[in-house]
Chains A and B, each alone.
Chain A
Amino acid sequence: MEARSKHKWGMVVDLDRCTGCEACVVACHAENNISTVGEEEAARGRAKHWMRVERYYEGEFPDVKVKFVPVFCQQCDAAPCEPVCPTYASYHTEEGLNGQVYNRCIGTRYCANACPYTVRFFNFFNPVWEKPLHLQLNPDVSVREVGVMEKCTFCVQRIKAAEIQAEAEKRELKDGEFQTACAQSCPTKALVFGDLNDPESEVSRLTASNRGNKLLEDLGTLPSVTYLQRDSWHDGKKS
């Protein structure tokens, strides 16, 4: 997979920096035309947070520890969501992304079941933006209709726009030239996005860090996202 394509997009999440502010969640909604579903539907489990911040607590008050884990599509190299889609709506792109083609999706929701990270979301109804909120929609991103699966795309519209720009200007893409919306909005720079095929990029450097591990690594999904954390979660030792 790596030899063929020019870029392989990846991300790093530094759990030691994440404050759980959820600016990334909001930015993702804004960038990707994700509708809010309302209080009632959210209570029924229909919210579509492509980027979500999971909170885990350990211990009893006052010795409580909280961990914030931003979870989003891991763009797995051996994605379990891809082979199960009957219409090729979920497939692997040449740049290492898990592509979701809304037009092919007929809504069997098999991919969502197969995803071990449960990062896929479904449009249970047609999304609604009450006027004048429809003016905030991003023209670069399609609006998904009812019955279609959606998930984090690593802001593929920004990737494509940057690639087209670079090609028009006959130059290479520079690291940090563009960001995903979540990485752009993170106040502590906990989220880093870049090209894993570029050995000089920040994301490549951080991926090699000895603080790094992958989420649910033993499942063999080969995710493109590395999580950094210094402390072991349970033994409380500081190294």
Chain B
Amino acid sequence: MLKAIYGLYPDPDSAQRAVDALRDAGIEPRDLAIMSSEPFEEYEFGRIDHRTPMPWLAVLGGLLGGVTGFMLSSLTQKLYPLPTGGMPIMPFWSNGIVTYELTMLGAILATLLTLLSTTRLPDWRGRLYDPEISEGRILVGVVNPAEESRVKVERRLREAGALQVKDFDPASNAGLNPETEGRSS
């Protein structure tokens, strides 16, 4: 059963304070849960987990697409050579266009796939979430807190300026089928 305790904050400053306070209290980064209805790139908490190979994968996807395009046009022309208009059987100019288009398609699809896999979407299992986030609140919390640190965590969440501090209730979350076992977000 996924256990979590979290606070809902009205603005990013208090959310940052909460994150700092929790880290001071010794909470592991992978047990920290932060969620918001918009990105906060200017704040430190909005920049965790930043490293991604996405651009490189896009380039790789583009290369694969380009090779596919080149092979598709050139090899099929060789397979059943039909001369047209005095042009060479494998004209560079026109094959280049097809190669280019598939390069771009490869880059786009690679980006899409990387996005879905790194964000682990779609994921309709019950996860830590609170619909208040859509009202503009920022959720900062701890997943699977150790029993003895619960009180400390709760105190720090309140001190940072939480509007509410809640225990995670699977029934109220947005997933279709709340899972009985959860990992940290």
Contact = CB atoms under 8 A, between A and B. Distances in A.
A78 B83 contact: no
B82 interface: yes
Interface residues of A, number: 14
A88 B82 contact: yes
B82 A80 contact: no
Contacts of A85: 84
B85 interface: yes
A83 B85 contact: yes
Interface string A50-87: 00000000000000000000000000011111110100
Q: Is the interface of A mostly helix, strand, loop or mixed?
A: loop
B87 interface: yes
A118 to B, nearest CB: 17
A99 B12 CA distance: 71
A79 to B, nearest CB: 5
Contacts of B84: 79, 82-83, 85, 88, 90-92
Given A83-B94, A92-B84, A92-B86, 8 more contacts: A1-B83, A77-B86, A82-B84, A83-B87, A91-B83, A92-B82, A92-B85, A222-B86
A185 to B, nearest CB: 31
Contacts of A82: 83-85
Contacts of A91: 82-84
Contacts of A77: 86
B82 A78 contact: no
A79 B85 contact: yes
> 8 tightest A-B contacts by CB?
A82-B84, A78-B86, A82-B85, A83-B85, A91-B82, A92-B83, A83-B84, A79-B85
Interface size class of B (residues with CB under 8 A): under 10
A82 B94 CA distance: 14
Interface of B: 82-87, 94
A79 B87 CA distance: 10
Contacts of B83: 1, 82, 91-92
Contacts of B85: 78-83, 92
Contacts of B82: 88, 91-92
A78 B84 CA distance: 8
A119 to B, nearest CB: 15
Contacts of A1: 83, 86
B98 to A, nearest CB: 12
A92 B84 CA distance: 6
B95 to A, nearest CB: 12
A208 B136 CA distance: 87
9 contacts: A78-B86, A79-B85, A80-B85, A83-B94, A85-B84, A88-B84, A90-B84, A92-B82, A92-B83
Nearest to A78: B86
Contacts of B87: 83
Nearest to A88: B82
B118 to A, nearest CB: 39
A77 B86 CA distance: 6
Interface centre among B82, B84, B85 (most CB of A within 10 A): B85
A83 B90 CA distance: 12
B167 to A, nearest CB: 63
A127 B82 CA distance: 30
Nearest to A93: B83
A201 B99 CA distance: 47
B107 to A, nearest CB: 26
A138 B87 CA distance: 35
Interface in A81-127: 81-83, 85, 88, 90-92
Contacts of A79: 84-86
Nearest to A79: B85
Nearest to B83: A92
A174 B163 CA distance: 102
